């Protein structure tokens, strides 16, 4: 709503009033006992929750500039009852007043369903491109880089099969430059299965996507992107050092990306240890305890 061209005739104040009205209607209809926010909640919805005096839980991830974030979210943080941190103990150092109501739970990720991997035929590699939800500015540039790399990679693998999962928030369809033999999927509810079946994934380095890929052990090239708060470059570098199936692309051109993909496809990598993160269970228990 805030960035749609359809609202260009509305003033910022009018949009804010409408968002506040919708937020109050949502809360009245659902009547939640608790509201759990990601680390960047919609300001109008957050204000409606505060005024409704509904208990608030905030999921706070590691970020590039914690001090700026704490200043940005200061008004909301005063009303937060529980801060869930989906990292290992000590990853984030909070001021004493916030540390007292925070808890490190470890990685939170959708649990990958057990599945039998299909037989691998190295002459027919399956490649998946994903940008997570697809809604961040610049995602289409990443998609175009990756699709051009796929076109170049056909010189090594003429029979490769590739899919681009654009994500439910992707809107820049007119700027997308698809290539021959690439399947475009606007939305995939079971991304875990698609990623598990792939021989190679080309992805940005958002928290959720990396957490899911870490469970699966699929060969992955991460193309980190600049974000206001999130540090995808630090996350990509760390996971590549820890897990042998990840590589970080730090160059610029589709040819360079295609060469890295060909190198990783040829490389023999030991089967990764499958992880089963339980941060979600720990967070659920904390929220349940908070509600009494």
How does pLDDT run across 169-217, given as a tens digit for each residue? 898 999 999 888 899 999 988 888 888 889 999 999 988 889 888 888 8
120 vs 257: CA distance, rounded Å: 22
Residue 37 in this model has a pLDDT that exceeds 90:
yes
264 vs 258: CA distance, rounded Å: 10
Going by pLDDT thresholds of 50, 70 and 90, the confidence category of residue 53 is very high
69 vs 63: CA distance, rounded Å: 8
User: What is the reported pTM?
Assistant: 0.82
How does pLDDT run across 209-264, given as a tens digit for each residue? 898 888 888 999 999 998 888 889 999 999 999 888 899 999 999 999 999 999 99
| Burial (0-12, 13-18, 19+ Cβ within 10 Å), 191 | buried
Domain ranges of the chain: 5-108+280-290, 126-266
Q: Taking the CB of residue 135, how many other CB atoms lie within 10 A of it?
A: 14
The dihedral formed by the CA atoms of 25, 27, 31 and 36, expressed in degrees to the nearest 10: 160
Residue 272 in this model has a pLDDT that exceeds 70:
no
* pLDDT at residue 219, rounded to an integer: 93
Asked whether the domain spanning 126-266 has the same topology as the one spanning 5-108+280-290, the reply is: yes
3-state SS class at 201 = strand
Contact 220, 199 (CB under 8 A): no
Cα–Cα distances (Å) from 239 to 117, 179, 206, 217, 261, in that order, read 23, 30, 12, 12, 17
Query: Into which CATH architecture does domain 126-266 fall?
Result: 3-Layer(aba) Sandwich (3.40)
CATH number of 5-108+280-290: 3.40.50.2000
244 contacts: CB under 8 Å, gap ≥ 6: 269, 270, 272
């Amino acid at each position: 709503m805030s960035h749609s061209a359809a609202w260009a005739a509305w003033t910022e104040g009018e949009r804010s009033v409408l968002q506040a009205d919708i937020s109050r209607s949502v809360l009245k209809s659902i009547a939640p006992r608790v509201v759990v926010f990601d680390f960047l909640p919609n300001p109008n919805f957050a204000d409606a929750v505060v005024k409704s005096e509904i208990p608030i839980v905030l999921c706070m991830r590691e970020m590039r500039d914690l001090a700026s974030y704490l200043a940005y979210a200061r008004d909301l943080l005063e009303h937060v009852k529980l801060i869930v941190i989906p990292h290992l103990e000590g990853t984030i150092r909070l001021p004493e007043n916030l540390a007292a109501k925070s808890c490190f739970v470890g990685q939170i990720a959708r649990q990958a369903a057990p599945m039998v991997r299909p037989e691998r035929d190295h002459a027919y590699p399956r490649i998946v491109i994903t940008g997570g939800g697809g809604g961040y500015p610049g995602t289409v540039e990443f998609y175009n880089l990756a699709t051009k790399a796929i076109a170049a990679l056909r010189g090594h693998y003429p029979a490769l099969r590739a899919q681009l999962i654009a994500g439910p928030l992707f809107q820049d369809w007119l700027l997308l430059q698809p290539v021959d033999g690439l399947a475009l999927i606007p939305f995939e509810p079971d991304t875990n299965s698609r990623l598990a079946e792939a021989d190679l994934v080309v992805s940005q380095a958002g928290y959720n996507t990396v957490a899911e890929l870490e469970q699966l052990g699929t060969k992955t090239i991460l193309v980190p992107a600049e974000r206001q708060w999130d540090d995808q470059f630090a996350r990509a570098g760390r996971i590549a050092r820890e897990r042998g199936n990840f590589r970080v692309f730090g160059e610029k051109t589709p040819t360079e990306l295609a060469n890295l993909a060909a190198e990783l496809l040829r490389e023999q990598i030991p089967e990764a240890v499958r992880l089963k993160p339980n941060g979600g269970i720990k967070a659920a228990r904390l929220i349940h305890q908070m509600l009494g």
